[in-house]
Amino acid sequence: NPQNKFWRIMGAVLGIGADLPYCRRVEEIKRRHVALWDVASECRRDGSSDSSIRDAVKNDIGGFIVANPSVRAIFLNGSTGAGKMFSRFFKDFGSAYPDIDVLVMPSTSPANAAVSLSAKIESWSALLRYLE
């Protein structure tokens, strides 16, 4: 969704140009040791609303963590989509991975208009302390 503020927020927090081509933005975010990872590996979805997600299949977060042992935190993009799905799929995550923090951030979706862009940037800036 072009109205989604994710890249604008990442630009403000990490200094990545939101106007860069997508593949370059992904390269830049990786260079800063941030990984993008979907909670679901596949699903059916009608429209852009998280509430329309059906038949979601959980992604192998355990395999990702084993392959990337430097993971210190997981930031979930919103409480209604990623947050709920993560909680449903990974109920025992905290006991399995006690050294990895899980933070639910304000959704970058345009549907989350109640939270200002500046407030979202401030919240998402929490990821900086994990990159030190």
Tokens of 57: 């299949």
The residue to which tokens 């979601």 are assigned: 56
Per-residue confidence of the chain (132 residues) as pLDDT tens digits?
778 899 999 999 999 998 999 999 999 999 999 998 888 888 777 766 666 677 878 899 999 999 999 999 999 998 888 888 899 999 999 999 999 999 999 999 888 989 999 999 999 999 999 997
pTM: 0.86
Cα–Cα distance, 2 to 31 (Å, whole number): 24
Which CATH number does the domain 6-130 belong to among 3.40.1190.20, 3.40.470.10, 3.40.1360.10, 3.10.105.10? 3.40.470.10
19: amino acid identity, one letter: D
Residue 22 CA to its chain's centroid (Å): 16
Question: For residue 36, what are the contacts with CB-CB under 8 A and spacing of at least 6?
Answer: 26, 29
Please report, for the chain, the start and end positions of each structural domain, with discontinuous segments joined by +: 6-130
- What pLDDT, on the 0 to 100 scale, is given for residue 47? 66
Residue 75's nearest CA partner among 8, 27, 10 is 10
Residue 53 has a pLDDT of 73
pLDDT at 82: 87
Q: What share of the chain is helix, strand, coil (3-state, %, to 5)?
A: 45, 15, 40
Q: Residue 51 has what pLDDT?
A: 62
User: What pLDDT, on a 0 to 100 scale, did the predictor assign at position 92?
Assistant: 93
Classify 43 as helix, strand or coil. Answer: strand
Residue 64, pLDDT score:
94
